[in-house]
Amino acid sequence: MPGISAFRFNLRVALIALIFVLLLLPPLLNALPASHPLRVSDFVVAVTGKWICYAILALSIDLAWGYAGILSLGHGAFFALGGYAMGMHLMRNIGNRGVYGHPVLPDFMVFLGYKELPWYWLGFEYFPFAMLMALLVPGALAGLVGWLAFRSRITGVYLSIITQAMTYALMLAFFRNDMGFGGNNGFTDFKDLLGVPLNTPSARAGLYLAALGALLITLLISAYTVQSKFGRLLIAIRDAESRVRFLGYDVTAFKLFVFVLSAMMAGLAGALYVPIVGIINPGEFSPGNSIEAVVWVAFGGRGTLIGAILGAFSVNALKTWLTSFAPDLWLLVLGGLFIIVTLFLPRGLIGLGWRRRS
């Protein structure tokens, strides 16, 4: 890898390997007999699984922001759209086991007087189709918003505002009952996925390992991307966008490519998250979620990939711990973290360990 000494490169690989080994522990220790002192609870598995999904989201933000300088404050929307795609599949899997026992329509549709499934629900009974949509819908939205913005050379804070508006608009839309996505209740009471009941230990372990596998794959894709000439162009675009144009590169195409890739990764994260937490509702679109995810990346250290992962885990660990006894303090602490990082830790946690290209 150019620009990074072999020693630092090995250090990174070692750190990544350590993270993944540690992440294998919760499901393994969960499988121990209940009396065993090292056994971890189902709760720990579920919470760690959730954080893994957040880590994928953080990785996707780092790719766009840390490397290409696209500070999206709307990645929560891509995450939520992926989650909704998976949620639709899980709703269809309920079949006639809903409260109303309708063979096709989810409960909320029966309640709202739907006679038949809206056209955009067609195909979601198939798992591969739902997974595809979890990638393609966020990707297409990012493609549209990105194309409009990058083509007009909208950058910096203006782009951030546009993406915030995007997630806010989607939140309002998804709150509406007539959208056909369950209104403010969203989707919940899922039964099974791929034939496995969700409340079983094997489903919990399977979902966890799927998320961990996805984290590894998205990390490898991101690492390949940033170590290529493409990655160096992203850094060039981040630091001197207009200069890149004078070299004959189509900056819009590069930004669009990375923004769409990043949105698809966020969608994947959301799709994995929903069966783990068992619910998806419009709150996932709330603008604050997107901002929080950016803080994870800033705290961990942007433009490093691994920093994004560390940031997602550490900030969420702090949040889970804090909200267990002082939930009101969380926003204050989050804001404080952001200020600390901005003022004292521009390279984030990872910057404490070693210095890297700024």
Q: Tell me if 251 contacts other proteins by CB under 8 A.
A: yes
Question: Can you give the C-alpha Rg of the chain in angstroms?
Answer: 21
Amino acid at 206: G
Q: How far apart are CA 259 and CA 83, in angstroms?
A: 19
Q: By CB under 8 A, what part of segment 15-74 binds other proteins?
A: none
Q: Per CB under 8 A, does 246 bind other proteins?
A: yes
Which amino acid is located at 292 in the chain?
A: E
Q: Give yes or no for residue 236 binding other proteins (CB under 8 A).
A: yes
Give, as one character, the DSSP assignment of residue 90.
H
240 binds other proteins (CB under 8 A): yes
Which CB, 129 or 257, lies closer to other proteins? 257
Which of 17/220 has CB closer to other proteins?
220
List 250, 321, 340, 346, residue binding other proteins (CB under 8 A): 250
C-alpha to C-alpha distance for 293 and 302, rounded to whole angstroms: 12
Binding-residue total with other proteins (CB under 8 A): 28
Residue closer to other proteins by CB (options 21, 247) is 247
Nearer to other proteins, 35 or 242 (CB): 242
Pick out residues in 129-158 that bind other proteins (CB under 8 A).
none
Give 97's DSSP letter. G
Of 10, 228, 323, 342, the one binding other proteins (CB under 8 A) is: 228
Residues 255-294 that bind other proteins (CB under 8 A): 257
Q: Which stretch binds other proteins (CB under 8 A): 40-48, 243-251, 268-276, 308-316?
A: 243-251
Residue 293 structure tokens: 């995810």
| Neighbour-count burial of 326, counting CB atoms closer than 10 A to its CB (0-12 exposed, 13-18 middle, 19+ buried) | exposed
Count the neighbouring beta carbons within 10 Å of the beta carbon of residue 22.
11
Residues 6+ apart with CB under 8 A from 159: 70, 71, 72, 149
Q: Rounded distance, CA 246 to CA 253, Å?
A: 15
Q: Least Å distance between CB 41 and other proteins?
A: 43
103 binding other proteins? (CB under 8 A): no
For other proteins, the binding residue among 177, 239, 317, 327 (CB under 8 A) is: 239
Q: Which is nearer to other proteins, 228 or 342 (CB)?
A: 228
Amino acid, single-letter form, for residue 102? H
Strand partners, 193: 196
Q: Which stretch binds other proteins (CB under 8 A): 37-45, 224-232, 294-302, 331-339?
A: 224-232
Least distance from other proteins to the Cβ atom of residue 153, Å: 10
Q: Using the rule CB under 8 A, is 253 a contact of other proteins?
A: yes
- Given a contact cutoff of 8 angstroms between Cβ atoms, the answer to whether 68 and 255 are in contact is yes
Q: How far is the CB of 249 from other proteins (least distance, A)?
A: 5
Helix H segments across the chain? 6-30, 42-61, 75-94, 107-111, 127-151, 156-175, 201-227, 229-246, 251-277, 287-300, 306-323, 330-344, 348-353
Point out which span in 87-95, 199-207, 223-231, 332-340 binds other proteins (CB under 8 A). Answer: 223-231
Phi, psi for residue 271 in degrees, rounded to 5: -65, -35
Q: Closer to other proteins at the Cβ: 155 or 314?
A: 155
Residue with smaller CB distance to other proteins, 168 or 230: 230
- 114, 127, 249, 330: which one binds other proteins (CB under 8 A): 249
Amino acid at 103: P
Separation CA 235–CA 341 (nearest Å): 21
39: number of CA atoms within 13 Å, CB side? Answer: 10
Interface pick for other proteins out of 34, 38, 247, 343 (rule CB under 8 A): 247
Least distance (Å) between residue 185 CB and other proteins: 41
Judged by DSSP in three states, 322 sits in helix
Binding site for other proteins (CB under 8 A): 2-3, 225, 228-230, 232-233, 235-236, 238-240, 242-251, 253-254, 257, 357-358
